[in-house]
Structure 1
Amino acid sequence: MSSPHQSVPPLESSHTAEAGEQTGQQVRTIRVPPLAYLGLLVLFFSVFFFFAGWPLGLWWLLLIPVAGVVWVARTRTVLSESGLELRRVFGSRHVGWAQLKGVSIPKRGFVRAHLTDGSTVKLPAVTYDRLRDLIAASHGRIPDLFAAEEAARDAAANAAAEDDKDAAADDK
């Protein structure tokens, strides 16, 4: 006997696979942070005041925030078992894990992927702050740079501690 308070599961939920996605395949998406929309709203209001002053001559200024919204909505890097799907405003590219040789972190901009053919590709929306997500989603295909740094720091601290012990033993 069923209770009148039982709920019927929805046809689609956040736990169902998206179209084209295989069940069991883990897909992770790295996007431009949604806070960028707030900056675009401020830009819209800034541009709107100029537009209100001369609508016939400055209508094109309203296209700048619209282009920004399209860029934020479209730009992303999708990580799956088959590789990386790099999506930009005007196109996308698939990079398989076998093609990936390594990554580099520039001073500014997005992280770059070095491919086995010698070319370099920017990873859209992947900045230094999101690098840990990229490494975790790669399941070991990209070496953990942060773990290597911590291991080097621990080794240096251990070497310094041994030097201190040796210096203390020599003083006795």
Structure 2
Amino acid sequence: MSAPARIRMSRTALLPVGLLVICMLPLATVSAWTLLLLLVPAAIATWVVRVGVDVGDDGVIVRSAFGRRLVPWARVAGIRVAPRGELRLVTTARTEVRLPVLRARDLPRLAAVSGGRIDVPVPPA
């Protein structure tokens, strides 16, 4: 059994979060209550680091900031591209699971890490 392929947001997205912390420090140090303002960049950083998709032998694991959902390969019916280019995993129960951080341009990469379980449609000629 191989390790799952992890698809995450680029860590360079943490640079603006660091800049936000630097900009908020003068205001956050005014009193003990304003220190709570630093929870905002902490929540954003948690989201950037945590959110993503893991593709492995068991199926597709969709990770959110505070949870995860496993969709086994037996329940995967296909992939749908939403109007704004977002990818959604369609299950055999006809429900859809949003794949965070993945767009239509990421379909070839997703197909490659799925081991052939997900096909990339060829555009008509």
Question: Is TM-score (shorter-chain normalized) higher than 0.5?
Answer: yes
TM (normalized to structure 2)?
0.85
Unaligned runs of 5+ in 2: none
Identical aligned residues as a percent? 29
AA at the equivalent of 1:101 = A
Instruction: Name the structure 2 match of 1:83.
Output: 59
Task: Compare CA radii of gyration and give the structure with the larger one.
Answer: 1
Query: Which whole-Å CA distance do the structure 2 matches of 1:55 and 1:86 have between them?
Result: 39
**Using CA pairs below 8 Å that are at least 6 residues apart, which structure has the higher relative contact order?**
2
Q: Provide runs of 4+ in structure 1 moved above 4 Å.
A: 107-110
| The structure with more strand, counted as a fraction of residues | 2
Please list the CA deviations of residues 124-145 of structure 1 after superposition, one character each: whole Å capped at 9, or x if unmatched: 3323343321111122222213
Instruction: Name the structure 2 match of 1:114.
Output: 90
Query: Which whole-Å CA distance do the structure 1 matches of 2:11 and 2:65 have between them?
Result: 16
Q: How many residues align?
A: 125
Please report how far the alpha carbon of residue 78 of structure 1 lies from its aligned counterpart in structure 2 after TM superposition. Answer: 0.8
TM (normalized to structure 1)?
0.64
1:42 paired with 2:11, answer: no
Unaligned runs of 5+ in 1: 1-21, 154-172
CA contact (8 A) 2:107 2:120 kept: no
Cα–Cα, structure 1 residues 87 and 36, in superposed 2: closer, same or farther, change >3 Å?
Answer: same
Please report how far the alpha carbon of residue 108 of structure 1 lies from its aligned counterpart in structure 2 after TM superposition. Answer: 4.2
| The structure with more helix, counted as a fraction of residues | 1
AA at the equivalent of 1:94 = L
Please list the CA deviations of residues 8-47 of structure 1 after superposition, one character each: whole Å capped at 9, or x if unmatched: xxxxxxxxxxxxxx3xx25211011111111211221232
